[in-house]
């Protein structure tokens, strides 16, 4: 019977499980990524078959039906008396050149990864992290010193398991290269095995017949036990009936070793899934903004208690607090959050992200440019933004709407954060509640309109407001 793979209801379940698992691993700082050649295709680089096509023609082989591609490279080397010069030149022609950072790599570079592995020879991974402001510490096969030293200021280690195009003689390509890998580079395999046991890996850019993926999976199979981690691979669904059957069987076998497969209909889904991971991770971080020279309409005791309860709620829900320590609001929010962090025994350095604004010393004017930069940095990784009150000392001595709170709302929305102004607390928060209400479907897709409307009702009790806020946070950051 011919088996043809089709989208099933189970696909959505597997994707959701992947998103929850990988986001959780990133949050705990024990996630890693492994990039295959498919991620570099959009930059104009060739795949395995494109690289070897001209050599296969000379050998009288049809590259389109060959699956053991390292063997094709080996045949060419054997036929040319092991003269690797032409092969190296072809490699440099194809990979030793500039290329745009692809959408998938851009999405990858936004994730807080410390370890990225790749079998690619090009520099797509490194360029993506550099473009995003990171400092990649490259460790390439053939350069042992790079594996035993660290780059000063490095933010992400890029492990180039099969070499870097700058050193073509060290690239892993032929059957002999693969067969001798364990004896030549035992330190690389030990590093990989160590990370596979300590990190949740996500593989992308591979097909199930990719020899590079098979090389890596051999390491998973070699140490797999009952307590091994689950790893994930994003893979394009095969359309040909015969290949679809092989893919299904491969997936079932890999599942025995803890490797779960998320099937994609198009390669572009890699970018969208990585972006979804980024958004979900950011929505674990809840910014609470606001200021209150005057506590009206709540009054000071109620605003203090409500702000404290908001801080407690955020931590109790498993989210992390981001705060600029706004006057009249920030201290109470922090107190509620900090008490809950310590009650849970959590790490405050992970759960509380505090950005108290730099204050000018007497006689100096406020640095508005620094304030703007500070807000941008504070809100960069926040995926939800709660706003309370929002007033400040006016020039005439009376309170006025706080323009800084409004600016924080604008930055949050520009960054894709979901805004949750508690309009019942008055002032800027009330104005923002009206603005968000007018753009509800755009700014809060999938959220409860009833819960959102309740946040703006002046007659609502604190219990009702907190319940509505909890429902909104739950629905917007699964």
Which token pair is 88? 């190296």
pLDDT confidence of residue 234? 97
Residue that the structure tokens 């933004």 belong to: 385
Residue that the structure tokens 């709660």 belong to: 386
Which sign does the torsion angle of CA 23, 26, 30, 35 carry?
A: positive
Q: For residue 14, is it within any domain?
A: yes
Does residue 36 sit in the same domain as residue 149?
yes
Residue that the structure tokens 């042992």 belong to: 144
* Catalytic center residues: 162
Q: For residue 167, is it within any domain?
A: yes
Does residue 100 sit in the same domain as residue 231?
yes
pLDDT confidence of residue 269? 94
Q: What is the distance between the alpha carbons of residues 147 and 150, in angstroms, rounded to a whole number?
A: 8
Q: What is the distance between the alpha carbons of residues 212 and 37, in angstroms, rounded to a whole number?
A: 9
**Can you give the residue range of the structural domain that contains 344?**
284-476
Does residue 257 sit in the same domain as residue 375?
no
**Last residue of some domain: 279, 311, 337?**
279
Does residue 418 sit in the same domain as residue 461?
yes
User: How many domains in the chain?
Assistant: 2
**Last residue of some domain: 250, 279, 308?**
279
Does residue 101 sit in the same domain as residue 165?
yes
Which token pair is 455? 């946040």
pLDDT confidence of residue 184? 94
The candidate with the shortest Cα–Cα distance to 300, out of 331, 341, 339, 272, is 331
Does residue 269 sit in the same domain as residue 305?
no
pLDDT confidence of residue 226? 52
Q: For residue 76, is it within any domain?
A: yes
pLDDT confidence of residue 72? 96
Q: For residue 38, is it within any domain?
A: yes
- Strands 320-323, 285-291: pairing kind: parallel
Does residue 147 sit in the same domain as residue 228?
yes
Does residue 95 sit in the same domain as residue 131?
yes
The tens place of each residue's pLDDT in the chain, 478 residues long, gives 333 444 455 688 999 999 999 999 999 999 999 999 999 999 999 999 999 999 999 999 999 999 899 999 999 999 988 889 999 999 999 999 989 999 999 999 999 999 999 999 999 999 999 999 999 999 999 888 999 999 999 999 999 999 999 999 999 999 999 999 999 999 999 999 899 999 999 999 998 888 888 888 887 777 665 557 899 999 999 999 999 999 999 999 999 888 999 999 988 899 999 999 999 999 999 999 999 999 999 999 999 999 999 999 999 999 999 999 999 999 999 999 999 999 999 999 999 999 999 989 988 999 999 999 999 999 999 999 999 999 999 888 899 999 999 999 999 999 999 999 999 999 999 999 999 999 999 999 999 999 999 999 999 999 999 999 999 999 998 7
Q: For residue 1, is it within any domain?
A: no
CATH code (residue 335): 3.40.50.450
Q: For residue 407, is it within any domain?
A: yes
Asked if residues 56 and 224 have their Cβ atoms less than 8 Å apart, the reply is: no
Does residue 142 sit in the same domain as residue 174?
yes
pLDDT confidence of residue 478? 75
CB burial of residue 467 (10 Å; 0-12, 13-18, 19+): middle
Q: DSSP secondary structure string, 326-381?
A: -TTTHHHHHHHHHHHHHHHT--HHHHEEE-PPP-PPTT----HHHHHHHHHHHHTT
Q: What is the distance between the alpha carbons of residues 282 and 371, in angstroms, rounded to a whole number?
A: 22
Distant-in-sequence, close-in-space partners of 173: CB < 8 Å, separation ≥ 6: 70, 73, 87, 91, 162
Q: What angle do CA 11, 14, 18 make, to 5 degrees?
A: 140
Q: For residue 4, is it within any domain?
A: no
DSSP E strand boundaries for 274-325: 285-291, 320-323
Does residue 205 sit in the same domain as residue 326?
no
Distance of CA 122 to the CA centre of its chain: 21
Q: For residue 364, is it within any domain?
A: yes
Does residue 380 sit in the same domain as residue 469?
yes
**Last residue of some domain: 279, 297, 326?**
279
Does residue 309 sit in the same domain as residue 334?
yes
């Amino acid at each position: 019977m011919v088996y043809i793979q089709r989208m099933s209801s189970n696909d959505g379940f597997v994707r959701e499980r992947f998103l929850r698992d990988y986001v959780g691993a990133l949050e705990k700082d024990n996630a890693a990524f492994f990039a295959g050649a498919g991620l570099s295709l959009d930059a104009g680089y060739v795949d395995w078959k494109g690289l070897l096509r001209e050599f296969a023609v000379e050998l009288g082989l049809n590259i389109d039906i060959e699956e053991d591609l390292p063997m094709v490279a080996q045949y060419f080397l054997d036929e040319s008396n092991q003269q690797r010069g032409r092969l190296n030149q072809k490699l440099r022609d194809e990979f030793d050149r500039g290329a745009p950072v692809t959408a998938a790599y851009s999405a990858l570079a936004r994730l807080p990864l410390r370890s990225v592995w790749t079998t690619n020879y090009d520099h797509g991974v490194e360029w993506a992290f550099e473009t995003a402001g990171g400092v990649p510490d490259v460790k390439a096969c053939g350069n042992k010193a790079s594996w035993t030293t660290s780059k000063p200021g490095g933010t992400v280690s890029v492990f180039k398991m099969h070499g870097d195009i700058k050193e073509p003689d060290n690239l892993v390509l032929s059957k002999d290269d693969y067969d001798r890998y364990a004896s030549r580079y035992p330190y690389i395999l030990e590093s990989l095995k160590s990370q596979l046991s300590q990190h949740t890996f996500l593989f992308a850019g591979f097909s199930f017949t990719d020899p590079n993926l098979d090389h890596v999976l051999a390491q998973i199979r070699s140490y797999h036990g009952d307590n091994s981690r689950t790893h994930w691979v994003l893979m394009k669904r095969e359309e040909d009936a015969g290949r679809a059957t092989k893919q299904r069987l491969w997936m079932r076998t890999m599942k025995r070793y803890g490797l779960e497969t998320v099937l994609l209909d198009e390669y572009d889904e890699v970018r969208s899934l990585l972006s979804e991971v980024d958004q979900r991770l950011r929505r674990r971080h809840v910014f609470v903004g606001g200021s209150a020279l005057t506590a009206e309409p709540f009054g000071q005791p109620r605003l203090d208690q409500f702000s404290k309860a908001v801080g407690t709620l955020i931590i109790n829900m498993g989210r992390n607090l981001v705060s600029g320590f706004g006057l009249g609001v920030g201290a109470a929010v922090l107190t509620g959050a900090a008490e809950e962090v310590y009650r849970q025994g959590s790490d405050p350095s992970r759960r509380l992200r505090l950005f108290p604004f730099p204050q000018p010393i007497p006689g100096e004017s406020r640095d508005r440019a620094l304030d703007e930069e500070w807000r941008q940095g504070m809100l960069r990784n926040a995926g939800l933004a709660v706003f309370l009150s929002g007033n400040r000392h006016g020039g005439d001595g009376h309170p006025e709407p706080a323009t800084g709170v409004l600016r924080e709302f604008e930055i949050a929305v520009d960054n894709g954060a979901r805004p949750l102004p508690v309009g019942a607390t008055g002032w800027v928060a009330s104005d923002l509640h009206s603005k968000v209400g007018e753009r509800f479907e755009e700014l809060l897709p999938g959220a409860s309109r009833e819960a959102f409307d309740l946040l703006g009702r002046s007659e609502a009790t604190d219990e009702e407001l907190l319940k509505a806020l909890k429902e909104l946070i739950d629905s917007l950051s699964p």
